Structure 1
């Protein structure tokens, strides 16, 4: 039985999440630096934890991040639930004392007290703030964060412990606290950008006197009663107007609000079209830009796909998976509200209007990011999810060209006690593994195969179904052409002609091509897992002792599969329209 592994991550500096209008170049450099530090810290922590091959859990804490895994689910809701080991809080104090301890202690003690009260009251259990100490001619930097999976009470208890422990560090100018449920740190040395601070003034209002606390309590009770009453009335009203399906983790939007945000789903706001509908750019009332996927119900499977996509991705959060923000069901209209990706889909940069604008570093980061997203779906989430439709048009790019896997309408669960499931084929020929396209045998290795095809598209700048014809009556698709070049040790010819590479980069690309061919091997059992692929890409590994064999080639035009011979075997496959 596969071990159930859940990662609990505290991104302690929150890099890249704040918005600023500061145009100072130094500020932009700092934000980029903190973002790189966070990602580097996370990757380092994961690599370190991967070496823990005994026991059923481990955790590691650095200044910029904290990562923990366990083989049971309970800790995600309450990190203090432990099956072995101990969860003793850890505090570290600096060795330098303030020049005027009395004033320093007074200011920092009050500051830490404010932070412990504010942190559980913020929407994401996160605070980063500063306070001046005039007598020291210094600024104190404080950050605190609870795991977002815990509740407010657990966060408050953890913050109280953090306050007590850090208070013991005074008058030292630096202190750190780490526990299973939270992290806190103070220092007179800057460790986050000034533009990333949290305004805790409004959060702390109402704590200045007992009278204000009593008033706030009374008002809160009255508001609570009114909210509960309103909620019941609202539910009764809505029950007759929409389906009773609720989706945990996503916001329900009013259809008219989304209609207005998309300018009545106007043609000029269309971002793309898929098999079951269109995707529109939308500007909400708070000026937030989102993407709205409008599912068309004239397809028989549209409602089922809509429910499937919402249920699957409403609770998935990963930097390389497109985030679902909300949903709407109104009559025959089914809408998904998704993150807006300003650079659109990957295929536009490979053979579309922006072809040739991606350099090798950007392409490599895209390949690596897709691999991490798939590894999360297959191995790092609490259930195994198979995407089933990995292709370049389903990879969206952020403003800094980081990839996010999109379109989970065809995704399926794979039970942990089964090596595969049998199902009707649904996907995109040209990316689908032969055992799935021919026999409906579905496993996570189907996504691995599709990922290998996408790698070849990213490196070559060509479609998987684009014909490479060297002589009359002979045509090779991308995979077959790549294999023939590899057999002749000339697979350097696969590389996109728009790329200008030095010798080191060429060698790196050749290794990645070999990884792509390894991902497309048959049978599926010889393909690597996506976690193995991540390690191979991360460490620049070659194939080592693995030996490549001729892949099974799928002729997508006449829907035939060629397995080691020129004699075709016809398959019957129902395909989704390609988006």
Structure 2
């Protein structure tokens, strides 16, 4: 364990220096809860300050991207290396995250030439050191206790009921957080007539086990705050908070139920048992737009209850796109056209003009966009605003300069993605779908996952587009029969032929996209190498059954970039997602865990899918 960390833990345990008592009058302030400066100075102040400023600048640049809440950076020029890590709470807007980060930088700059420092805020955490071990091995930090910071007022609610309800909420947060895709949860509980808000968060670079151990430790610290009406618990690897005062929006909660089921935390159990229908709750879709509209209307809500979505004037968007002219057109799809535009004095956005046939959809559309706009995740396109004033319904979206994944697989940029980039894209799509299905405040089935709906940022990280146009289902529904809406080739057979829609429809589509990423081929392409003309899915299954997985891999990828055992594992996960019947497919949270794990998949017999060509003809049945 480093000297700096020992100094830090001594400060946590025995010193009040640098600790600010939280005020009951404010819920989110960018003032330090705790900070410290290391006792050792840098060797060269000039070099150190240059490296520190460079690291701070890199961290800020990463956090400025929508949906990014965790960043690491380093500057190693001429000695006096500076390694940094920053993390914001996931309920924040990007601007709020940056405001907290900037305040944290100002605090740490008061440490002068100290070669390490930390600061904890309600909204964020910032740390820099002159060594990098804390990136990869924070186990010692996670197991070394923490600090509880309790409010200075007791709850006005009955003490016994308050203590019991908050402890149960915090316990659920403690258990669920390590099982989510980004180590973050937010939830509420009602005590008499007061809502209690709570979150849990771990550093994203740690393992599930370290996160679990860390939260278990600080849970004890936080429980000791009761019956105070608010409290925080801090450790360098994790953070928990509860409060009677709202510090995130009611529609930013995460459904904890899927993560509290017995056995759902076992990666090995998921890998071995997925073919027996693992996944306890199917998170599916609802009647188009109006279910949540009726729900919010009954609760007396309107658009002012939501943050993050801006209502734009039709004339402003028309002007920004030069009357939706061809020169601004950047894409077309089943839902409408997409145009590049500059709004709000210089922000580059994408404006999507939707094809909606009935006027009644306008109010439903407004309520739905308000709801969806609060979903923030690194692998989901952010919906910034909307417009219903003109003849079309318009969405204002985050702009992605690299465009669609399909361009990099078989379009004009074919062959430019290396193996690591392809794996990161597969992993990111899985993480985004796991969030849509089980972690955000509404349960969303996308219905149209395909390569052209996966957009790439400048770092080739994927973001799922058009998820706001998906259907929603209330929690007590496991599936719904509905009119088909999707893209043949990517669509699960039970949905294409019978309209049977569940979250496993997205799982199937994910499997197809993963096969496309691995092979560099479109699912609509016909393989002519064998005695039959087979589409990609059938060709992939034939290779798998012959033990010839590696022949599926795109020939433009350098074989030295990947290990055969890992490549075979990813192919098998993709095929597992296409099995029939749907109950054999894993949930996306299970897929995410399988992709996160190191061991090879357990060998077992998988069930072939029902093959359907692009004309909806069934030509081979699954077993």
User: What is the match of residue 429 of structure 1?
Assistant: 488
User: What is the match of residue 531 of structure 1?
Assistant: 589
User: What is the match of residue 292 of structure 1?
Assistant: 351
Cα distance, 1:479–1:384 mapped onto 2, change above 3 Å = same
CA contact (8 A) 1:145 1:182 kept: no
SS in 2 for 1:426: coil
Find the partner of 1:279 among 311, 330, 338: 338
User: What is the match of residue 170 of structure 1?
Assistant: none
CA contact (8 A) 2:340 2:349 kept: yes
Q: Does 1:376 align with 2:435?
A: yes
User: What is the match of residue 621 of structure 2?
Assistant: 563
Query: What is the distance in 2 between the residues matched to 1:324 and 1:132?
Result: 34
Cα distance, 1:320–1:305 mapped onto 2, change above 3 Å = farther
Find the partner of 2:547 among 489, 493, 499: 489
Q: Does 1:259 align with 2:235?
A: no
CA contact (8 A) 1:272 1:278 kept: yes
Cα distance, 1:263–1:34 mapped onto 2, change above 3 Å = closer
Q: Does 1:457 align with 2:524?
A: no
User: What is the match of residue 75 of structure 2?
Assistant: none
SS in 2 for 1:129: helix
Q: Does 1:342 align with 2:401?
A: yes
User: What is the match of residue 105 of structure 2?
Assistant: 129
How many residues align structurally? 400
Query: What is the distance in 1 between the residues matched to 2:538 and 2:530?
Result: 15
CA contact (8 A) 1:434 1:561 kept: no
Query: What is the distance in 2 between the residues matched to 1:502 and 1:319?
Result: 29
Query: What is the distance in 2 between the residues matched to 1:476 and 1:63?
Result: 49
Q: CA RMSD in A?
A: 4.5
| 1:418 positional shift | 3.1
Structure of greater Rg? 1
User: What is the match of residue 517 of structure 1?
Assistant: 575
> Stretches of 4+ moved more than 4 A in 1?
9-13, 24-43, 62-68, 119-126, 131-144, 158-161, 177-186, 244-247, 297-309
User: What is the match of residue 608 of structure 2?
Assistant: 550
Query: What is the distance in 1 between the residues matched to 2:450 and 2:418?
Result: 20
Query: What is the distance in 2 between the residues matched to 1:512 and 1:121?
Result: 35
CA contact (8 A) 1:272 1:279 kept: yes
Query: What is the distance in 1 between the residues matched to 2:414 and 2:438?
Result: 33
Query: What is the distance in 1 between the residues matched to 2:30 and 2:515?
Result: 33
Query: What is the distance in 1 between the residues matched to 2:475 and 2:417?
Result: 38
| 1:549 positional shift | 2.1
- 5+ unaligned residues in a row in structure 2: which ranges? 1-27, 33-49, 72-83, 125-148, 153-217, 223-229, 237-301
SS in 1 for 2:504: helix
Instruction: Please list, as runs of the form range in 1=range in 2, the aligned pairs for 1:338-487 lying within 5 A after superposition.
Output: 338-408=397-467, 410-470=469-529, 474-487=532-545
Cα distance, 1:492–1:288 mapped onto 2, change above 3 Å = same
TM-score, normalised to structure 2's length?
A: 0.55
User: What is the match of residue 94 of structure 1?
Assistant: none
Q: Which structure's relative contact order is higher, taking Cα pairs within 8 Å and 6+ residues apart? A: 2
Q: Please give the per-residue CA displacement for 1:197-249, whole angstroms capped at 9, x wherever unaligned.
A: xxxxxxxxxxxxxxxxxxxxxxxxxxxxxxxxxxxxxxxxxxxxxxx977833
Query: What is the distance in 1 between the residues matched to 2:470 and 2:446?
Result: 4
- 5+ unaligned residues in a row in structure 1: which ranges? 1-8, 14-23, 44-61, 69-75, 78-118, 149-157, 162-176, 187-243, 566-579
Query: What is the distance in 1 between the residues matched to 2:312 and 2:591?
Result: 39
TM-score, normalised to structure 1's length?
A: 0.59
User: What is the match of residue 121 of structure 2?
Assistant: 145
| 1:139 positional shift | 9.6
Query: What is the distance in 1 between the residues matched to 2:591 and 2:425?
Result: 14
Find the partner of 1:328 among 387, 395, 415: 387
